[in-house]
Structure 1
Amino acid sequence: MINEKTYYLFNAGRLSRKDNTLKFTAIDQDGVEGSIRYIPIESVSDLFCFGALDANASLFNFLGKQQIAVHFFDFYEHYTGSFLPKEYLLAGKMQIEQTRHYISKGKRIVIASKFIEGASANILKNLRYYQSRGKDLQSIIESIEKFSGQIKSVVEIDELMGIEGNIRQKYYESFDLIINDFSMGGRSKQPPSNEINSLISFGNMMCYSLCLGQIYHTQMNPTISFLHEPGFRRFSLALDLSEIFKPILVDRVIFKVLNKREIQAKDFDFQGNKVLLKDASRKIFVRAFEERLNETIRHRSLNRNVSYKHLVKLECYKLTKHILGMEEYKPFKIWW
């Protein structure tokens, strides 16, 4: 059996079907065709497109039948949308129960609180890791522990979002202490104002797309969320789930590529008030992100090795069971 994996298309080009194979033809700025790459369809789980993609309806019909999602990013590294095949697993009972859990203030706050509980636990794990390696992070750890202790008493989503904001603000203060040779100076998103913010924005979009892809393989509707308001973004449930995984999938990769100097100051493109990754450094980050996803840990409940990517899928299944009243949802927290 061929293992499915994510393919990243960095160059502009044309994607077409050739029998049961995907054919990608690179096209330069002058419209001249370049190298051709063939991708066996059975090896593809999803596609990430960072360059202009020329494709027709026939190609997307083919991708839809093969249950392959395509995620698109623009020139400025912004996530712009996804092609998702027909929701082949959506079920009426799940749709009803998911909606009930959103409408019920009590049920919604339970799930939303779990997302922040998991996120804060994984943030603290990161901080304690670097504290044990000589970084002076104790005051930040204590502040986040204090904010985390308020989660269980919250009864309003706005209050919960306020706590999440306070935790993130303190957490981002640690980046200047953890990362060598770069200064973050606070979080800036649109546009990212420096190198660290550029990596955070890009990495968070990667994590969001990953979560969206895993939600697709469950019965849940990705547009019905609990922490973030539905409609803030179309697939807001992916935003909810990504809160848990950003510290361990995105932030740890950022610390690695910068502190090991795999990405340096020369690898960024400064355009006025915005800072973007150059093509080569984007590929370096994506490679490091994929390596992180493919790392395995010994799962305590399953008693077998699972990858970080599979942990995201398991999180979706746990949330599904909670919504259907089968098992209480407990967010993923690093235990090692």
Structure 2
Amino acid sequence: MKKTYYLFNPGRMSRKDNTLSFTPVDENNREGQTRYIPIETVDNIYCFGSLDANSALYNFLGKNHVSVHFFDYYEHYTGSFMSKDYLLAGKMQIEQTRYYSSDKKRLVVARKFVEGAAFNMLKNLTYYTNRGRGLSEHIDRIVNYQSLIAGTTRIDELMGIEGNIRQAYYAGFDLIINDFEMGSRTKQPPNNEINTLISFGNMLCYTACLSQIYHTQLNPTISFLHEPGYRRYSLALDIAEIFKPILIDRIIFTVLNKRQLKASDFRKELNACVMKESARKTFVQAFEEKLKETFKHRKLSRNVSYKHLIKLECYKLQKHLLGMEEYKPFKMLW
């Protein structure tokens, strides 16, 4: 079974027969022990340190459909190497483009993403309200904004409602999380521990969605809620809206409230808050465990992992675009 590999240390990677060879290098240019990874076991590679590689390696990765995702020093996602789109189909491309080009059809799909995201955010707040966290005011605000989704007539109007929903949602984090304060949402750069975890986690969710889109016939550059941009896989942003409350926010609540991460796992630099390597490893491990976690799918009547659930979401969107079945976003019931 293929898996994701995370490279936290800078180093050199090359091809050795049908194996990847990675040699970590410290700040004094001293080499560590080389690790060999059979290419058939690799699905994705996440690079959090500088990677020294040549075009021969990327040709090898491309032929084996291995994606590489890059992050900078401040854990910001900077880009991905994706191999040639090998599953794209002409009919799917045409229909996806047609839906984007039609304001009416695009808005229908975009509303679905916001509806699914709002439902899953409310589910998180309701869970903690039932445990005495006093989030009723935040829930009421989101419900009020939620009622406006169906009446939107423009994408920018819908994006404004989505922004208000998320602002009301994040305002409740201080009542959910112990020992840390979030305040307002800050991104570039995040100014405290919670904002740092949100930014880091959202990028992991985005790349997970991108990887699953890549294994379908959907074109990741043609989106509906977010505006497609130059060299931007914006469809992954659309789908990630549904899964961020499920995959990322619940992990944040767990690792902080169970004190798996403490204030000492972060470092303040100027006006930015940065995760130490130990914190990144802890969060990534929790994320990987969440993706592998399974539950009984109510429609399929079988257990599926959260990772596979993202691909199922892509399949549902495909069916909608092909006129086979109305798209309904995933809504968690627990």
Matched, 1:126 2:124: yes
Deviations 1:96-139 (A, max 9, x none): 11111011011000000000000001001101111111110111
User: What displacement does 1:233 show?
Assistant: 6.3
Q: CA–CA distance in 2 between the matches of 1:305 and 1:210?
A: 20
Which one of 100, 103, 118 corresponds to residue 102 of structure 1? 100
Using the aligned pairs only, state the percent identity.
Answer: 67
Q: What is aligned with 2:47?
A: 49
Which one of 216, 233, 236 corresponds to residue 235 of structure 1? 233
Q: What is aligned with 2:202?
A: 204
Q: What is aligned with 1:136?
A: 134
CA gap 1:234/1:34 in 2 versus in 1, 3 angstroms: same
1:115-264, aligned counterparts within 5 Å?
115-231=113-229, 234-264=232-262
Matched, 1:332 2:330: yes
Deviations 1:25-67 (A, max 9, x none): 1111121111111112111111111011011111111111111
Q: CA–CA distance in 2 between the matches of 1:117 and 1:85?
A: 32
Q: CA–CA distance in 2 between the matches of 1:272 and 1:31?
A: 27
Q: What is aligned with 2:306?
A: 308
Q: CA–CA distance in 2 between the matches of 1:232 and 1:287?
A: 32
1:52-131, aligned counterparts within 5 Å?
52-131=50-129
Q: What is aligned with 2:35?
A: 37
Q: CA–CA distance in 2 between the matches of 1:58 and 1:91?
A: 28
Q: CA–CA distance in 2 between the matches of 1:55 and 1:80?
A: 17
Which deviates further from its counterpart, 22-31 or 104-113?
Answer: 22-31
Q: CA–CA distance in 1 between the matches of 2:324 and 2:2?
A: 30
Q: CA–CA distance in 2 between the matches of 1:111 and 1:58?
A: 41
Equivalent residue letter for 2:185: R
Q: CA–CA distance in 1 between the matches of 2:35 and 2:175?
A: 43
User: What displacement does 1:159 show?
Assistant: 1.1
Equivalent residue letter for 1:36: T
Q: CA–CA distance in 2 between the matches of 1:4 and 1:252?
A: 25
Gaps of 5+ in 1: none
Matched, 1:276 2:260: no
Q: CA–CA distance in 2 between the matches of 1:305 and 1:17?
A: 37
Equivalent residue letter for 1:256: T
Q: Name the SS of the counterpart of 1:17 in structure 2.
A: strand
Q: TM-score, normalised by structure 2?
A: 0.98
Q: CA–CA distance in 1 between the matches of 2:284 and 2:110?
A: 29
Equivalent residue letter for 1:217: H
Q: CA–CA distance in 1 between the matches of 2:186 and 2:195?
A: 6
Equivalent residue letter for 2:181: S
Q: What is aligned with 1:288?
A: 286
Q: CA–CA distance in 2 between the matches of 1:147 and 1:288?
A: 32
Q: CA–CA distance in 2 between the matches of 1:205 and 1:65?
A: 25
User: What displacement does 1:232 show?
Assistant: 6.9
Which deviates further from its counterpart, 233-242 or 82-91?
Answer: 233-242
User: What displacement does 1:301 show?
Assistant: 1.5
User: What displacement does 1:95 show?
Assistant: 1.3
C-alpha root-mean-square deviation of aligned residues, in Å? 0.9
Q: Name the SS of the counterpart of 1:14 in structure 2.
A: strand
Q: TM-score, normalised by structure 1?
A: 0.98
Q: CA–CA distance in 2 between the matches of 1:231 and 1:218?
A: 21
Equivalent residue letter for 1:315: E
Which deviates further from its counterpart, 29-38 or 120-129?
Answer: 29-38
Q: CA–CA distance in 1 between the matches of 2:302 and 2:40?
A: 25
Gaps of 5+ in 2: none
Equivalent residue letter for 2:166: R
User: What displacement does 1:268 show?
Assistant: 0.5
Q: Name the SS of the counterpart of 1:33 in structure 2.
A: coil
Equivalent residue letter for 2:107: I
